Structure 1
Amino acid sequence: MTERDKVFAGSIPKSYDTLMVPLIFETYAADMAELVAASSPDSVLETAAGSGVVTRALAPKLPAGARYVVTDLSQPMLDYAATRQGSDSRIEWRRADALALPFEDASFEVVCCQFGAMFFPNRVVGYAEARRMLRPGGRFVFSVWDRIEENAFADHVTHAVATLFPHDPPGFLARTPHGYHDIALIRDDLRRAGFADIEIETREKVSCAPSARDAATAYCLGTPLRNEIEERDAALLQLAVDRATEAIASHHGEGAVTGKIQAHVIVAAR
């Protein structure tokens, strides 16, 4: 992962939330909200919250007196998430690094993180921090994407954009969002962080978009892939969207499109 992989700023937060969230994140957010809320926790810490898709799904399911702390490393993403959430006195918004959390030990019943661990520079440290936050018996609930070949639109977009830069193809999607998919490695990292009770389930879902162009635009403009394209040649950004659109349409047809998405959902108990 490069430092640019973590830059969710400028127009990306809004594009991410309006384009990427309904495309691939909402369906998994509903699952995570169910998992986290199942134990009726009185305190939840969310890390790498992004534009707040899990927050919006989870907050209505938590007890009235619950404490819910929502964090992200990116202040622009956190600010955007807060504007989408509306008033909720239970929620505390806090910029925080998941690898150096500014809270006391054993402060929460549940720590959750949807599709954030792939961005951790040191995942063992991040998992150890999550464990430090948990009370005895508490749960760390998180998800990561499976390999890019199991995620149709991301794979098509990556190959299509690469044709514009054959000598230096942008690799963000394969490198970072889909670069941490080895279940054995995930288990090993969690054990090294101190977790012993680990459950991992691979969940396949369907990604839907009104058109191939909508899906292509989401990936090219709503993720740090945009940064990679603009670094190489900003004038080719629209052409990148066009190429990605053509690739998705060639595999999934004209009009509304659907494609496979797949992720690992992990629950580790303290």
Structure 2
Amino acid sequence: MPEAYEQHLVPVFFRPFAADLAARAAALRPLTILELAAGTGALTSALLTEVPTATVVATDLNEAMVTAGSAREPRADWRQADAQELPFADGGFDLVVCQFGVMFFPDRPAAYAEVRRVLAPGGRFLFSSWGPLASHGFGAAFQDALEKALPDRAPSFLRDVPHGYADPAVVAADVTAAGLTLGTAEEVTLEGIAQSAASVATGLLTGTPVSAALAAHGDVQVLQAAVTQEMTDGLGTGPVVAPMTATVYTAHEQA
């Protein structure tokens, strides 16, 4: 999964937003940064480029992601860690960042409370979550193709999880419950550029939990071919471009 994720999804989905988030991080002038749900290190690399004087600790719950990320970006200190039980002392970081990871936390207020605990006085929490599935050109096209290939049986993972935490009011309530104050919530739309619709289909089919959900639906290769063809028919051949919308949040300790 990390290999498919890195090859097919990171350049298209995550690197454009990583550049944006790293620039926002640099404006805060942090000296110590903790990254949650770092994946294979797209944001990690951007942070180290934009804030070269900062120490960056990158964490992920998934050991395979930590292994892949540490090999790809050895300048950071990589640790396997659960965001809901961070293995760090109180007040150790000027900035905690998380790109498209909060949607996966089982107990978000608990994770945000851990963020509050490890933030130094005056520190900031900078994080992002995807908008509704319809606002993501590639994701929406993939889900449509999946539903055509598997009427009434298509996995709803993409809609329910990565794009299921899109209401800023819900995010604000979770942040407040953790003892943090939501400072800003800014909607950001960027373009993703993929080498082909087939590449995006491969990434979503094999580099996300969708792959496990599809294992129970018969001939996976036939299903993958059908989804890939449908996406290609919808988005076109050759390099393809689509808009992607997310919300970027900042939070700080309550006064």
Q: Give the TM-score normalised by the residue count of structure 1.
A: 0.89
Query: For 2:149, what is the secondary structure of its paired residue?
Result: coil
Shift of 1:63: 4.1
Distance in 2 separating the partners of 1:163 and 1:252: 15
Query: For 2:180, what is the secondary structure of its paired residue?
Result: coil
Distance in 2 separating the partners of 1:15 and 1:124: 31
Q: Is the 8 A contact 2:112 2:178 kept in 1?
A: yes
Query: For 2:244, what is the secondary structure of its paired residue?
Result: strand
2:47 to 58, 69, 84: 58
Shift of 1:167: 4.2
Distance in 1 separating the partners of 2:231 and 2:44: 30
2:103 equivalent to 1:118: yes
Distance in 2 separating the partners of 1:240 and 1:27: 30
Distance in 1 separating the partners of 2:50 and 2:137: 32
Shift of 1:241: 2.9
Q: Is the 8 A contact 1:131 1:194 kept in 2?
A: yes
Q: Residue deviations 1:232-263, cap 9 Å, x none?
A: 33x22x33332333332333222221112110
Q: Is the 8 A contact 2:172 2:182 kept in 1?
A: no
Name the residue aligned to 1:232: 217
Q: Residue deviations 1:185-237, cap 9 Å, x none?
A: 1111111111224200010111111222112112112211111112333x22x
Residue 43 of structure 1 aligns with an amino acid whose one-letter code is T
When the two structures are aligned, how many residues end up with a matched partner? 253
Name the residue aligned to 1:71: 59
1:253 to 231, 236, 239: 236
Structure 1 residue ranges (4+ consecutive) displaced by more than 3 angstroms after TM superposition: none
Distance in 2 separating the partners of 1:23 and 1:151: 12
Query: For 1:232, what is the secondary structure of its paired residue?
Result: coil
2:141 to 148, 156, 162: 156
Query: For 1:49, what is the secondary structure of its paired residue?
Result: coil
Name the residue aligned to 2:85: 100
Name the residue aligned to 1:263: 246
Residue 142 of structure 2 aligns with an amino acid whose one-letter code is V
Shift of 1:57: 1.0
Query: For 1:227, what is the secondary structure of its paired residue?
Result: helix
Q: Is the 8 A contact 1:151 1:260 kept in 2?
A: yes
2:206 equivalent to 1:206: no
1:133-212 residue pairs with structure 2 within 5 A? 133-212=118-197
Shift of 1:67: 2.5
Shift of 1:15: 0.5
Q: Is the 8 A contact 1:50 1:72 kept in 2?
A: yes
Distance in 1 separating the partners of 2:250 and 2:239: 34
Name the CA shift for 1:76/1:104 in 2 (closer, same or farther; >3 Å): same
Q: Is the 8 A contact 1:220 1:240 kept in 2?
A: no
2:9 equivalent to 1:24: no
Distance in 1 separating the partners of 2:150 and 2:235: 24
Residue 42 of structure 1 aligns with an amino acid whose one-letter code is L
Cα RMSD, aligned residues only: 1.5
Q: Is the 8 A contact 1:51 1:81 kept in 2?
A: yes
The 10-residue stretch of structure 1 (165-174 or 178-187) with the greater mean CA deviation from structure 2? 165-174
Residue 69 of structure 2 aligns with an amino acid whose one-letter code is A
Gaps of 5+ in 2: none
Query: For 1:106, what is the secondary structure of its paired residue?
Result: coil
Q: Is the 8 A contact 1:49 1:55 kept in 2?
A: yes
Distance in 2 separating the partners of 1:76 and 1:226: 16
Q: Is the 8 A contact 1:48 1:114 kept in 2?
A: yes
Shift of 1:137: 1.2
Q: Give the TM-score normalised by the residue count of structure 2.
A: 0.94
1:131 to 116, 123, 135: 116
Distance in 2 separating the partners of 1:84 and 1:108: 23
Q: Is the 8 A contact 2:100 2:130 kept in 1?
A: yes
Gaps of 5+ in 1: 1-11
